[in-house]
């Protein structure tokens, strides 16, 4: 299984790039958003959940995400995780995700956990102007997540921008390469897709080689 990590600021186009890559591939590909792994806070009053700093890397359940990646890599299915942005609670389901050929992980802090970094075959950083990210975030959160312009603006100033400046922007050091101009950068999509295709071919070739070696050893024993 090939694991691709896509990191970058909120609104930088991570989800769009992930979707574009999946559409360009001719294999089983699953996109997993890190947002689905927020630590559950349903036990808190809504007023407290609203004030939580959702840009802090500590708000994610990194152990759970890592365990799910290891399960898929080992050939075991996982349950689909989810998040309700309007009510700030987890929204997991019993739907199963079967082990795919490719997993694309995307999120602002997917490069935070070194254990997860080690499992990624390719690490991509979205290098987009912060002002453009703010505009995209404003449109997304008001249209798709039921947020007001005032709440988006307040959150951006209090947590999003500070975390970006001090932590997220530095994840570029972990990346194999950076993508400019957002998630529909055709050159980047083609390059990443080509890399995945070659990596899958190599992985499958290695698997066939090991099978032949095992069969050869078994025949000698017999």
pLDDT, residue 118, reads 97
The pLDDT value given to residue 171: 96
Q: What is the share, in percent, of the chain residues with pLDDT greater than 90? A: 64
% residues pLDDT > 70 (the chain): 94
For 119, the domain range is: 2-221
pLDDT bucket at 221, cuts 50 / 70 / 90: low
Instruction: Please state the domain count of the chain.
Output: 1
- In this predicted model, what pLDDT tens digit does every residue of 141-157 receive, in sequence order? 777 677 777 877 777 78
Q: Which pLDDT belongs to residue 187?
A: 94
Using CA atoms, how far apart are residues 51 and 144, in angstroms rounded to an integer?
20
> What is the C-alpha to C-alpha distance for residues 91 and 41, in angstroms, rounded to an integer?
11
What is the 3 state secondary structure string of 33-70? EHHHHECCCCCCCHHHHHCCCCCCHHHECHHHHHHHHH
Average pLDDT estimate for 161-173: 92
* CATH number, position 8: 3.40.50.300
Residue 147: phi and psi, rounded to 5, are -95, 155
Task: Give me the pLDDT at residue 159, please.
Answer: 84
**222 falls in which pLDDT band (50, 70, 90)?**
low
Render pLDDT for 56-77 as a digit per residue (tens, 0 to 9): 999 999 999 999 999 999 999 9
pLDDT band at 37 (very low <50, low <70, confident <90, very high): very high
Of 21-35, 60-74, 161-175, give the lowest mean pLDDT range.
161-175
**Is residue 210 pLDDT above 80, yes or no?**
no
* Mean pLDDT calculated for residue range 40-53: 90
Averaged pLDDT of the chain:
89
- pLDDT, residue 68, reads 98
Quickly state the pLDDT bin for 109 (edges 50, 70, 90): very high
Q: Is the model's pLDDT at 192 over the cut of 90?
A: yes
Distance CA 1, CA 101 (A): 5
With contact defined as beta carbons under 8 Å apart, do 46 and 123 qualify? no
């Amino acid at each position: 299984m090939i694991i691709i990590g896509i990191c970058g600021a909120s609104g930088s186009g991570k989800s769009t790039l992930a979707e574009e890559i999946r559409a360009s591939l001719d294999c089983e590909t699953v996109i997993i958003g890190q947002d689905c792994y927020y630590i559950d806070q349903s036990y808190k009053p809504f007023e407290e959940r609203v004030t939580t700093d959702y840009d802090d890397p500590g708000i994610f359940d990194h152990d759970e995400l890592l365990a799910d990646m290891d399960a898929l890599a080992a050939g075991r299915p996982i349950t689909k995780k989810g998040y309700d942005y309007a009510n700030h609670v987890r929204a997991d389901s019993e739907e199963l995700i079967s082990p795919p050929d490719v997993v694309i992980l995307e999120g602002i802090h997917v490069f935070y956990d070194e254990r997860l970094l080690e499992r990624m075959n390719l690490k991509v950083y979205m290098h987009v102007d912060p002002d453009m990210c703010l505009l995209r975030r404003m449109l997304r959160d008001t249209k798709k997540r039921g947020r007001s312009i005032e709440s988006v603006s307040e959150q951006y100033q209090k947590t999003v921008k500070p975390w970006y400046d001090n932590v997220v922007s530095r994840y570029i050091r972990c990346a194999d390469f950076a993508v400019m101009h957002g998630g529909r950068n055709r050159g980047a999509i083609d390059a990443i897709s080509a890399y995945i295709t070659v990596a899958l071919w190599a992985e499958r070739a290695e698997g066939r080689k090991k099978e032949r070696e095992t069969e050869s050893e078994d025949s000698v024993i017999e």
